[in-house]
């Protein structure tokens, strides 16, 4: 897939850039509690400002379902964005119509304006062509810098890109380049790590990856389902026992497609999930009591994963290896994360991670900044890993 970037825009002096950003930030009592998504948008905003464009920001917040819900206004974001940008940011009470057009017209070249929540209009999520046209009437070019919303075919993510010259913003470009390096055109061998609680939520992901990877390590609660399917005692551990046949199918697919499946060979068990709980290491196949719960991968599994990472050139990671939120059951996730980050820093491994739990786990391990790339996109990252086309990305294809 090829797409235009901000390097391809030509002169922007006197033009208005409509920029789709993801400002769906955590809020509490009308205050932004995590400004990560605001900071991610800064390079694109500043590049356009420096080029002399008016910058009109389009975003959604929460789920107002096509109605004006004052508590879901984007206005509280303005102060934080101004502080981060070090420049004034205007706010428009609507994202379409004469009032929005007039507000954009009032800002100077290099000025920035945030338009009100696009989801206050039912046409946004319906990808209504008339609403997309109303948006397009406000600007001269479209920039999508919200990969995290690219899995939605909405007016501001897909419809608008069909009506104006469309470009990938700096954040979108970094994301697409990283994902291409991880699965599109990766350096081989490629290893994947997939963890989390349930096989059922990641079926499409697992089925796609066994056809793409050289090795796939499965951890977390979903690994228990695979162990159970093979007749290995998992005691009272979290597992989807009704998914055993599906797990066996995936094992068969992996074998048929030449993907080595790495399941835990040992694990850490305890009878309760609480910080500092008494635990022990058990080899796979040893008997467990009904009270025993598998809560982390064991040291032999970690050693095998470390060896596999060292032999790989590319890593794609989604999901922790254990209950990392509750020490000591974070041990395996932290150890593997540190090794992956060290290899990435040494330039011998392209290490890409993504998904909510993965980001939290890598931050917990203190290595998020040392990985090659960490995506905060959530649903879009998962759908991309599942091999599904993302409408907001497809619309940028030239």
* Residues belonging to the active site: 37, 198, 356, 379
CA–CA gap between residue 379 and residue 24 (Å, rounded):
14
Annotated binding residues for (2R)-3-phosphoglycerate: 37, 119, 152
Which residue has 């963890």 as its token pair? 195
Residue 206 burial (C-beta neighbours within 10 Å; 0-12, 13-18, 19+): buried
For tokens 């991880």, what's the residue?
182
Longest Cα–Cα distance in the chain: 73
Annotated binding residues for substrate = 22-24, 37, 60-63, 119, 152
398/394 Cα distance (integer angstroms): 9
Q: Annotated binding residues for ATP, as ranges?
A: 202, 325, 355-358
Residue numbers in the known binding site are 22-24, 37, 60-63, 119, 152, 202, 325, 355-358
């Amino acid at each position: 897939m090829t797409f235009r970037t901000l390097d391809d825009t030509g002169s922007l002096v006197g033009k208005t850039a409509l920029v789709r950003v993801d400002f769906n930030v955590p809020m509490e009592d009308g205050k932004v509690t995590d400004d990560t998504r605001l900071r991610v948008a800064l390079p694109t905003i500043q590049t356009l400002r420096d080029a002399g464009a008016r910058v009109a920001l389009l975003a959604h917040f929460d789920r107002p379902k096509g109605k004006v819900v004052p508590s879901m206004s984007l206005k509280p974001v303005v102060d934080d964005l101004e502080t981060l940008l070090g420049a004034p940011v205007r706010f428009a009470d609507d994202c379409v119509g004469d009032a929005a057009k007039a507000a954009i017209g009032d800002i100077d070249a290099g000025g920035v304006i945030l338009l009100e929540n696009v989801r206050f209009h039912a046409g946004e999520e319906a990808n209504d062509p008339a609403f997309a046209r109303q948006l397009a009437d406000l600007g001269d070019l479209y920039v999508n810098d919200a990969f995290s919303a690219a899995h939605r075919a909405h007016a501001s993510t897909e419809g608008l890109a069909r009506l104006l010259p469309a470009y990938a913003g700096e954040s979108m470009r970094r994301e697409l380049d990283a994902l291409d390096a991880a699965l599109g055109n990766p350096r081989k061998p490629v290893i994947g790590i997939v963890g989390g609680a349930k096989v059922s939520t990641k079926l499409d992901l697992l089925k796609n990856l066994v056809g793409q990877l050289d090795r796939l390590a499965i951890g977390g609660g979903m690994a228990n389902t695979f162990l159970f399917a093979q007749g290995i005692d998992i005691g009272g551990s979290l597992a989807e026992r009704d998914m055993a046949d599906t797990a066996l199918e995936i094992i068969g697919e992996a074998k048929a497609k030449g993907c080595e499946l790495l399941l835990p060979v040992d694990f850490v068990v305890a009878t309760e999930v609480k910080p500092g709980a008494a635990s022990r290491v058990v080899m796979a196949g040893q008997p467990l009591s009904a009270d025993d719960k598998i809560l982390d991968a064991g040291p032999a599994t970690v050693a095998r994963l470390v060896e596999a990472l060292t032999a790989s050139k590319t890593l794609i990671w989604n999901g922790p290896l254990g209950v990392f939120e509750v020490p000591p059951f974070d041990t395996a996730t932290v150890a593997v994360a540190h090794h992956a980050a060290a290899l990435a820093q040494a330039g011998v491994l392209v290490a890409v991670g993504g998904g909510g739990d993965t980001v939290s786990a890598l931050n917990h391990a203190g290595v998020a900044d040392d990985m090659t790339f960490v995506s905060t996109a959530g649903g879009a990252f998962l759908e991309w890993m599942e091999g599904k086309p993302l409408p907001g990305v497809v619309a940028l294809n030239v």
